[in-house]
Amino acid sequence: MDYIKTKKMTLKDNTIFKIIAKETVIVFCFRIVGTSIAFSLNILCARWMGMSEYGMYMLFLSWLAILAMLTSLGLENGVIRVLPSYLHNEDWEAANGVKRLGIILPVTVGVGVSIVWIFIISMQNVGIIISYKWSVWSMVLLLPMVATSNVLANVLRAMRHIVLSQGIVNVVEPLSLITFLIFVYLSQGYLDVRTAIICKISALVLVLLLLFLALRRNWPTSNNRRIYNIKPLLRISLPLLIMSGSYVALGHIDTIMLGYYEGTNQVALYSSAVKTVLLIGFALNAINTVGGPQISHFHALNDTVSLQKILSATAWCAFCLSIPMCIILFFFGDMILGIFGNSFLEARQALMILMVGQLINSLAGAVGTVLAMTGYHDRLAIIMGFSVILNVVLNMTFIPMWGITGAAFASSITMVSWNCIMVYLVIKKNGLNPTIFPLKSFLIK
């Protein structure tokens, strides 16, 4: 059976938005629900845990995200590139091997990475983390679980069960986590880092069970024989780790460095601004999830006309969804931050600075996706690697001087820098304009 079907698409001016809207609607629904639950989750944690505990929990989650990214070895992207060809050719033994490696490698590497991390933290005696010894040791459980769930979710995506995959990851996980947290808070009357981590582990157990059941039910063969083609899989996955890892690192370096220089209270303030401003960018992320395969398809056909229409539609969708959110944050930012608690109003200035960076990121369009899907992934990796270094340097410079405002400046400057470089490359190398602005005529003469 052919599990990977390609569709010939011809685009007309009056149908381009219908195509984008039709293929994005399910992803958008899941993202909206997931983003709403996650935002509510952060508000409840901030109010129930208090500033210091909430800051420690956010710092812990930042470390978890970066270490889980390293633990996955880029497999979450590699399986999407490798597995469809095995399914298409009905090479069940190789496909079974990829699925099993998606479990074995994250678990093995996760335990190793967590042990090394515990040793380094203990040797360095990082006070704000070492004082929560239980949370440090919980990495032995959490790292393999997070990395494995990320890989298995993308195995489902590679099998074209995108709705199922997105539903489990973007809806079930945050919904189960917030349910567990509410139950614990109502039972014992308080919430701390330890109980929050236990709830996180419980939610991940549920997610992993659902992923295993989904794969067992939808796997296209009962043949259990396996061939472990580790080298080809890692040859594709490890380079992709540089790009995906850079994005993850850029989302958490500021929080980690702020915790190092300023402490958990400042991390709590900054996290409230970060979680709020991410509401601007979720639209572009959802559009990119659907637009990526279409960009790759039209590039393979050398159909630059349809490709430009896709990019223009994406840019206008991102613009129309981002601007209203920026207006809301500008006029009602204090009210939104106040939901976290009255003390969080201090993050107003950081919120405005981060908002500018996120707005420019949305207005730049799907630049990263275009470079990745049109053969310029090597340059994308260089840009993102440079951005990580720039972000570290700026945080080291600005945080000691200005605290959370400095972290916000560092993040926004980095985001604006990489988007400007990427927009320039897309226009120069592909002859395409990913924005709503007439930049192509300005840069190409």
Helix (H, G, I), strand (E, B) or coil at 366: coil
- Which of 228, 253, 277 terminates a domain? The answer is 228
Whether residue 352 sits in one domain with residue 370: yes
Whether 295 is in a domain gets the answer yes
Domain finish residue from 207, 228, 249: 228
**217 and 92 inside one domain:** yes
Alpha carbon 321 to its chain centroid, in Å, reads 19
Residue 99 lies in a domain: yes
Residue from 120, 363, 80, 424 nearest 244 by CA: 80
Is 215 within the bounds of a domain?
Answer: yes
Segment 145-171 mean pLDDT: 84
Can you give the pLDDT at residue 300?
Answer: 66
Examine the domain organization and report whether 360 and 440 are in the same domain: yes
- 283 vs 292: CA distance, rounded Å: 14
- Of 228, 254, 289, the domain-final residue: 228
Range from 87-91, 135-139, 340-344, 439-443 that averages highest in pLDDT: 340-344
pLDDT in tens, 265-285: 999 999 999 999 988 877 677
- Which tokens in the block code for residue 320? 């129309």
Please indicate, yes or no, if residue 348 is contained in any of the structural domains. yes
Q: DSSP label at 347?
A: G
- Mean pLDDT throughout 399-404? 94
pTM for this structure?
Answer: 0.86
Q: How far is CA 145 from the centre of its chain?
A: 17
Note the pLDDT of residue 417. 94
Give the model's pLDDT for residue 207.
94
Say yes or no: 355 and 390 in one domain.
Answer: yes
Q: 92 and 148 in one domain? A: yes
Cα separation, 37 vs 50, in Å, equals: 20
| 219 and 241 inside one domain | no
Classify residue 105: in a domain, yes or no: yes
pLDDT in tens, 124-154: 655 445 455 667 778 888 899 998 998 888 8
Instruction: Tell me the one-letter amino acid at 53.
Output: E
Residues 203 and 67 both lie in one domain: yes
Task: Provide the residue range defining the domain that includes 392.
Answer: 235-445
The answer to whether residue 278 sits within a structural domain is yes
Which pLDDT tens digit goes with each residue over 346-379?
999 999 999 999 999 888 888 887 887 777 777 8
- When pLDDT is averaged across residues 387-408 and rounded to a whole number, the result is 95
Number of domains in the chain: 2
Convert 162-225 into a string of H (helix), E (strand) and C (coil).
HHHHHHHHHHHHHHHHHHHHHHHHHHHCCCCHHHHHHHHHHHHHHHHHHHHHHHHHHCCCCCCC
